[in-house]
Structure 1
Amino acid sequence: MRCRSARWRLHSAAISSSSAAGLWSACCNSIPQIQAYIDCRSNLGLQRPCGTVLNRLALKQDLEMTDAHASINPTEIPAEIDRWNWGAFLLNWVWGVGNNTFIALLTLIPGVGVVMIFVLGAKGSRWAWRNGRWDSIAHFKRVQRQWAIWAVVVWLGFITLWVGLLGGIFFFLKHSDAYQLGASRLQASAEAAELLGSPITTGIPVGAINITGATGHAVLSFSATGPKAAGRIFLEALKKDGVWSLKTMTLKVDGRVSVIDLLGDSRVELETSRRRLVAIPCDQVATFYFAFV
C-alpha cells in the first residue's frame, strides 16, 4: 500500500507539470519520493521500478554535476590551490601533457628548461586549473596530489637505480685484479712506506677497465693514506694471456710537487687463471732453467 502511495505521488507530480521546466522542478522535488519508492519495492522483494523513475533520478544527478561544473570559473584562481605544485616540478613536461599545459614542453629546451622547471612548480597549479575541466576544487586537489605521489615514486626509483648502478661499478673496480695488483705493490713498496708510514690504507678506485678474453687494459687511481701523510696512486695495467702486469704506477703525495715512480725497473705480475710453468733460455746451449711465476 505504501508503495502504491509513493508511486501515485510521483505520477501526480509528473502529470501536473505541463512545461519542461515544471516537469524538471517536479522531478527534483520528488527525489525523496523516488528513493522511497525504490527502497519500498526492494524491501518487499518486488521487481525494480520502471526505467522512467530511474532515468529521472539519474537525470537529476547528472544535472547537479553539470550545474556544479558550470559554477566553476576557470579564470578565477582559488587561493587554496594557488600553491607550489610538486607534480609539475618533478615531472615537468610529462605533467604538462597530462594537464593540457603544453608550455611545460619548454623544459626540453637546453638552458631554458632548468628555469622552466621552477616556473612550473610555482605557476603549475594556476595553469592546470585554467586548462583543465574540474568538477570541484576537491577534485582538482585530489588529481594534483596523485601527480605529486607518482612524481616522488618515479624519482625514488630513478635514484635507487643509479645508486645501485654506481655501487655495482665501484664494487667491480674494488675487486678487480688490476686494483688488487696495484694495492699489493703499494704495500710492498719501501719508498711508499717511508713517505706515508705504515700501515697504508687504500680507498675506492676510480677509472676504467676493458677486458676482452685473455687481454685487457686498466687505468685506475685511488687514495693511499698512512700515519705520516696521504696521497694518490695512479696506475696503468695490461692483461696479456690471462696475466695482469703493471705498466706504470706512481704516487703523488699531498703537499708535494714531485711524483714518485713505484715500479722503477721492476715488473709485477698477477696470474688470474692458474700458475704456469715457464721455460727461460739461459744461453745458446740447449739448456733451460725452469721457474714458477
Structure 2
Amino acid sequence: MNQEQEYVSGLGKNSVVPPEIKGWNWGAFFLNWIWGIGNSTYIALLMFVPLVNIVMFFMLGAKGNEWAWKNRTWRDIEHFKQTQKKWRNAGLIVFFVVFPLFFILIGNMLKGAAFDQSMVAISQNSEVIEVVGEPIEAGYFVMGSIQTSGTDGEASLQYSISGPKGDADVYVQAYKEMEAWVLYNVIVHWPELDKKIQVVTPVE
C-alpha cells in the first residue's frame, strides 16, 4: 500500500488529511459560501450571519483545505489539488474582474441628475475652487444609494473630486419631488486638513 492510499477523505473526523494539502485556500477565501456548497463544507453558510462572516473569511482560507478533504470524497491527492486550483482561479477572476465591473456599473447608475447637480454646485463654489483649483473633476467611483417611489425619491452619494491643487471627498443628499431632483446638503471635505465646506446648506 503506498503512502497516498493511507490518506482517507470524505469520512469527516475519521478522515486522514495529507500534510501536503494543508495551507491557505484562496478559492474558499474569495468564494466562501459558494465554495462551501461545491465542496460539501456547509459551515461556509455562516457567511450569511452578520459579524460571524468576517471571521469566516479567514477561517475558510486557513481551514478550507482540511474541511474539504474531510467532507467530500476525493479520488486522490492530485484530484483534490487540481479541483482546488480551479476554485482558486475562479475566485481570482471574481475578485479582480467581476467585482470591479460590478462596482463600476453601480457607480455609473448613481451618476444621475443628483450627481450632476452636485458637481455643478461644487464647480461654481469659490471656496472649493480656491483649495482644489480648476478644472474640478469627479472620481470614477460613486458610492451611496438612490431610492425612488413614483415621482419622489431620495439620494445619498459619496465620491471624490480632484483638481490641480488637491483632492477632496464629497457628500451629497438630494430629494426628488415631482420628477425634479433638489440638492439638500452638499459637503466637500479634506480629511488631511480637517476642513469642510458647506456647498449647499440644509434648509430648516
TM-score (normalizing by structure 2)? 0.65
Asked if the contact 1:107/1:114 (under 8 Å) is kept, the reply is: no
Asked if the contact 1:87/1:147 (under 8 Å) is kept, the reply is: no
- The 5-angstrom pairing of residues 6-25 of structure 1 reads none
Q: Which residue of 2 aligns with 1:201?
A: 137
- The 5-angstrom pairing of residues 68-107 of structure 1 reads 71=1, 76-77=6-7, 82-84=19-21, 90-91=27-28, 93-94=36-37, 97=40, 104-107=41-44
Q: Structure 1 residue 163: deviation in Å?
A: 3.1
Aligned AA (1:190): S
1:245 to 164, 168, 182: 182
Asked if the contact 1:215/1:242 (under 8 Å) is kept, the reply is: yes
- The 5-angstrom pairing of residues 49-128 of structure 1 reads 71=1, 76-77=6-7, 82-84=19-21, 90-91=27-28, 93-94=36-37, 97=40, 104-108=41-45, 110=52, 111=55, 114-115=58-59, 117-121=61-65
Asked if the contact 1:234/1:250 (under 8 Å) is kept, the reply is: yes
Unpaired segments of 5 or more residues in structure 2? 8-17, 29-34, 47-51
SS of equivalent to 1:199 = coil
* Higher alpha-carbon Rg: 1
Q: Which residue of 2 aligns with 1:236?
A: 173
Q: Structure 1 residue 210: deviation in Å?
A: 1.2
1:233-253 deviation digits (Å, cap 9, x = unpaired): 222111112211111222223
Asked if the contact 2:27/2:90 (under 8 Å) is kept, the reply is: no
* Aligned length in residues: 179
SS of equivalent to 1:222 = strand
Output the CA distance in 1 between the equivalents of 2:186 and 2:107: 20
Q: Structure 1 residue 107: deviation in Å?
A: 4.8
1:132-159 deviation digits (Å, cap 9, x = unpaired): 5x8xxxx514532442244235425643
1:140 to 76, 79, 82: 76
Asked if the contact 1:229/1:253 (under 8 Å) is kept, the reply is: no
- Say which structure is richer in strand: 2
Asked if the contact 1:89/1:121 (under 8 Å) is kept, the reply is: no
Aligned AA (1:213): G
1:46-66 deviation digits (Å, cap 9, x = unpaired): xxxxxxxxxxxxxxxxxxxxx
Larger RCO, structure (CA 8 Å, separation 6 or more): 2
Output the CA distance in 2 between the equivalents of 1:116 and 1:225: 39
Change (3 A) 1:250 1:93: closer
Q: Which residue of 1 aligns with 2:161?
A: 224
Asked if the contact 1:107/1:117 (under 8 Å) is kept, the reply is: no
SS of equivalent to 1:262 = strand
1:83-109 deviation digits (Å, cap 9, x = unpaired): 126897635644653xxxxxx555555
Aligned AA (1:144): F
Change (3 A) 1:108 1:179: closer
1:155 to 85, 91, 98: 91
Deviates more, 1:222-231 or 1:104-113: 104-113
Unpaired segments of 5 or more residues in structure 1? 1-70, 98-103, 267-293
TM-score (normalizing by structure 1)? 0.48
Aligned AA (1:118): A
Output the CA distance in 2 between the equivalents of 1:221 and 1:89: 31
1:206-265 deviation digits (Å, cap 9, x = unpaired): 211112232221111222223334322222111112211111222223444453222369
Q: Structure 1 residue 171: deviation in Å?
A: 1.5
SS of equivalent to 2:186 = strand
